Amino acid sequence: MSEEEKKTSYHLLFDEDTGELTPKTEKDKDGKWNLKEIQDFATATNGRPFEDSVIDEIIESFEVDDNNNLLFSGFYQMYYMQTVSEPEETLKDFQKQMAATTPSDVDMQDANENNVEKGIIDTLDASKIKIALEECKILVIGAGGLGCEILKNLALTGFKQIHVIDMDTIDLSNLNRQFLFRKKDIGKSKAMVAAEFVMSRVPGVQVTPYFGKIQDKDDEYYKQFQLIICGLDSVEARRWINAKVIEMVDEDDMEHTWKPLIDGGTEGFKGQARIILPTITSCYECSLDMLSKPTTFPICTIANTPRLPEHCIEWASVLEWPRVWGSKKYDTDNPEDINWLYQQALTRAKQFNITGVTYSLTQGVVKNIIPAIASTNAIIAGDAGVYTYTFEHQKKPECPVCGNESKTAELDKDITVDQLIEYLTERSDT
C-alpha cells in the first residue's frame, strides 16, 4: 500500500496482541499500520509524533461492535491525525464532542429529565446512532450542484433511506460541478441519474428518485420523512415547501406531522445553510426581506440610451418582446425564445456600437443566472449536514405563513377574487 493510500485508509482496529492497527476490511489486509507507522504519519502531517498519552487515548477511543467493525468510521481518526494544531488540544476537543451535549432523539427516552433541563445529556450510545441512521428516512429536494453534494454526504455518513426530488434534466453546463452526472447522462432526469449513481457507489443505500415537481406530492408523502433538506435554486420553491411543513403541523400528532427543514443555498462565492423548526423558529417567509434584489435598469435608459450589453438584452425582453408577441410570455427554458431575444438584442447593440452581447449572456440576464461554483456547493452542503447557528433569525408575528397575527380589512361584498388579490398585493402590510 502506498503512503498516499495509507493516509486515506482510516478504517483501522487496534490489535492488543501484535500492537498493530489493522484495516477494517478484508481487502486492505496488506495495509496494517503498527504504532511506529502511526508516529511516522503524525510526524509527516503535524511536524512531530504524538505523545504516548495521545496514542493511548486514540486506542481507547476506538469503539467497535460485536463484529469488530468501527462505529465511528474514519472521521475521528482523521480528526486526530490531520490536525495542524496541537494534537493534545485536538484530543481534548474530541473528547468533549464525544460526550455529546446536544439532545438527540436516539437517547432522549433514556435521558434524565433534570439533566435535559440543564442541557446535559449522557454520552450517546454508538450502536443506537448506527441504528438511527439506518432507520431515518430523509428527503432531499434538488439534485443540482448543492443536491449532489448533499446526497453524497448523506450516503457516506450512514443514512440508508434517502429520497430525492428534482424536475430538471441534465445539461452539458452542469458537468463541471454536478459530479454524479456524466456526458452520457445529458438529457436524463437529474433525480434518476443521481439516485442510480449513489446506489452504485455506496452499497446498502437505497435512494428513491422522483422526476417532477414538489407540488405534485401530497401531505402523506412528506409526513413519511424525519428530515427534509433543500438544495433548491428557486425562491418560490423554497416558499412552497416552507409553507407546506408548517401547514402539516398537527399539535395532537407532532410525532408524524412535525418535520424539521434544513435549507441550503449558494450564490457564486456566497452561501447559507439554516434550520427551520416549524412553529418554533422563524420560517423562510420571515426572512424574505433579506434576499438581494435583482438588478434592474431604468426604462428610459434601455429605451433611449443603452450603454451596456445588458441594456440591449433588457430592451429585447422588456420592450421588444411584448411589442411583437403581445401578452404571450417568453419561456426562459425554451431555446427558441432565448435565441429570439438574443438576435433582437444583438441588432440593438449594433445600432449603438455596443459589443459583448452573446447567447449565454442573454440567457443569464433573462434567467437571472448567477455562476455556480463547486467549492461553494461543497462548503454549504457540509453546513447543511453539520449545522451550527451563527445567529437566530427572529420570527415575524405578522408573517403570512407561520405568524398568528390577524388583521381586519373592510371590503365591498361584491368584490371579485382578482380585485381581492390586487388589493392584498398593493397593501404594504400583507
The answer to whether residues 155 and 15 belong to one domain is no
User: Residue 317's domain is classified under what CATH number?
Assistant: 1.10.10.520
The answer to whether residues 189 and 284 belong to one domain is yes
Candidates 164, 158, 155, 154; CA nearest to 128 is: 158
The answer to whether residues 141 and 285 belong to one domain is yes
The answer to whether residues 219 and 325 belong to one domain is no
Give the domain extent around 55: 3-98
- Quick check: 102 and 121 in contact, CB under 8 A? yes
In a domain, 115, yes or no: no
Domains: count for the chain? 3
- Quick check: 82 and 74 in contact, CB under 8 A? no
Catalytic residue among 300, 312, 399, 402: 300
286 tagged catalytic: no
d(CA 61, CA 74): 12
**pLDDT tens track, the chain, 430 positions:** 454 454 444 344 445 555 554 544 443 444 444 556 566 656 655 567 767 766 665 555 544 445 444 333 333 343 444 443 444 444 444 444 444 333 344 444 444 445 544 444 445 566 777 888 888 999 999 999 999 999 999 998 889 999 999 999 998 888 888 999 999 999 999 999 999 999 999 889 999 999 999 999 999 999 999 999 999 988 889 999 999 999 999 988 888 999 999 998 887 777 888 889 998 888 999 988 877 776 677 778 788 889 999 999 999 999 999 999 998 999 887 889 999 999 999 999 999 999 999 998 898 888 776 667 777 777 777 766 554 444 456 677 778 788 777 777 788 888 888 888 887 777 655 5
